[in-house]
A = this chain, B = another copy of it.
Amino acid sequence: MIQIGLNDEKFIRGAVPMTKSEVRAITLSKLQLGKQNSVVDIGAGTGSITVECALNVSGGVVYAIDKNEQAIELIKQNIAHFKLKNVQVVKGLAPLAIPELDSVDRVVIGGSGGQLAAIFKWLSHKLPLGGIVVANCITLENTVKIIENLKLYNYKNIEVVQASIARGKALADLTMMLANNPVYIISGER
């Protein structure tokens, strides 16, 4: 069984934009997952990060939250496709929609729906010491807001990484490089 690094082609995809495999790989590595971790994936989108997390936390649970109905359907399809038993899908806006949890020690922010301040306030109550949050961000303003919140709540090991990935496309005998949009990957430890 393959444990890490699923190809983009392995997922069922819809109209919802999907985190590309390279950014997913970096995001997963920042999460520092162990088998017993439980994860909340906020703005789970297609569920590609949810799936990779669930494959790696066989002793934990992944909560996939998204406000978008299309996304919820796609996440459910991907969960079925990968035969995952340890995912709970919740439709709604985080942090309000996040169910009462026994414990969560890893949080992914793939989309915040304008609720960054409320999400970090929720995290301040729910994420224990040693817990890790990793955000993927495509706007400058939210990248800065996330950094500010990580500092405000005294997170440790704050990392800001910009990943600019270009991908070769065969053009006759030649390889033309096509750029993906840059993604900011911001992480910190409680």
Contact = CB atoms under 8 A, between A and B. Distances in A.
B165 A162 contact: yes
A139 B34 contact: no
A178 B32 CA distance: 23
Contacts of A178: 181
A140 B29 contact: no
Contacts of A84: none
A147 interface: yes
Main secondary structure of the interface of A (DSSP, over half): mixed
A90 interface: no
Determine the interface band of chain A, counting residues with CB < 8 A from chain B.
Answer: 35 or more
18 contacts: A2-B34, A3-B3, A5-B28, A5-B32, A22-B161, A24-B29, A139-B171, A140-B160, A141-B144, A141-B174, A158-B170, A159-B168, A161-B168, A162-B167, A163-B165, A177-B181, A179-B179, A179-B182
Interface of A: 1-7, 21-22, 24-26, 28-35, 56, 138-144, 147, 158-168, 170-171, 173-182
